Amino acid sequence: MTDIVIQGLSKWFGPVHAVRELGFDVPAGRITGFLGPNGAGKTTTLRMLLGLVRPTGGQALIGGLRYVEIAAPRRVVGAVLEATGCHPGRRARDHLRILAQVTGVSRSRVDEVLDLVDLTDAGHRRVGGYSLGMRQRLGLAGALLGSPDVLILDEPGNGLDPGGMAWLRGLLRDHAAAGGTVLVSSHVLSEVAQTADTVVIIGNGTLRFAGPIRELGDSLEIAFLRLTEIDGMAAASGNDASPGKGVAR
């Protein structure tokens, strides 16, 4: 059982207060959706959780430890961020072998995860020739290498076809049912409503809601728009989370 606990987490990028005193729990054994409009601070929060960005204040703990304190982090946490990449000239199997070595798992595990994400036949190909969906699955394969307790996924559905989405949903449900922790950020609210048990909604770097979806009272989309509406009006244009604004004008 590896819970994620975020307490008073803040981040300033120069004059920009990206994340403000954010606090929420991500319990094990459940799928937690992490939602917010563009620029709400989701990615920054995930990056602080993973030790890539240093918090200005507060802390983000995984199983009671900061990420940097975890001894073999890839065996505890599997993460796919938007910024996770592969060298385009590298073959997928080589990419995973490189990761396997630092994860501390054997080469045979590489073949297992390739099989799991249905890339066995494409494993010898260079990643540069992969489609978006294939890259997404390769990213997942990398995250799953260490059989981690905790999965942290940023927009994992990007580029997946309907079959891929259903497969991913099944994978996440099985993982949570087995006692694992799942934190998934997404803009596809219908998918989150189908998959997640609990949601954390943030806007402008602050917490707007954390709890079971059924406690929202409305449908997830209506609740999301209500909870983040204020940002849609305050934020500059380009904030795609406020479709109502365009209609009103």
Partner 1 sequence: MTLVRNEFRKLSTMRAVWLLLAAEQAVIIAGIASLLVGNSNDPHDPMTSRQAVMHVGLVAMFTLLLGVLAVAGEYRHKTITDTYLATPKRGRVVWAKVITYTIAGLGFGLVAAVTATVVGSIWLSAKGGSLYLGDTEVWQTLVGCILWNALFAAIGVGVGALVRNLVAAVAVALGWIAVIEMSMSSLFGSSARWLPFAAGKSLGHFTPDSDLLPQWAGAVVLIAYTVLFVAAAVSTTVRRDVT
For residues 162 and 14, is the Cβ–Cβ distance under 8 A? no
CB closer to partner 1 out of 97 and 173: 97
Minimum distance of partner 1 from residue 179's CB (angstroms): 22
CB closer to partner 1 out of 54 and 249: 54
Minimum distance of partner 1 from residue 114's CB (angstroms): 16
Q: Which of 152, 202, 234, 223 is nearest to 11 (CA)?
A: 202
Q: Which residues bind partner 1 (CB under 8 A)?
A: 44, 47, 50-54, 67-68, 70, 73-74, 77, 79, 81, 83-91, 94-95, 97-99, 101-103, 142
CB closer to partner 1 out of 50 and 193: 50
Minimum distance of partner 1 from residue 134's CB (angstroms): 16
Minimum distance of partner 1 from residue 119's CB (angstroms): 17
Beta bridge partner(s), residue 91:
126
CB closer to partner 1 out of 48 and 223: 48
State how far the alpha carbon of 176 is from the alpha carbons of 91, 97, 116, 220, in Å. Answer: 31, 27, 17, 21
d(CA 14, CA 153): 27
For residues 241 and 186, is the Cβ–Cβ distance under 8 A? no
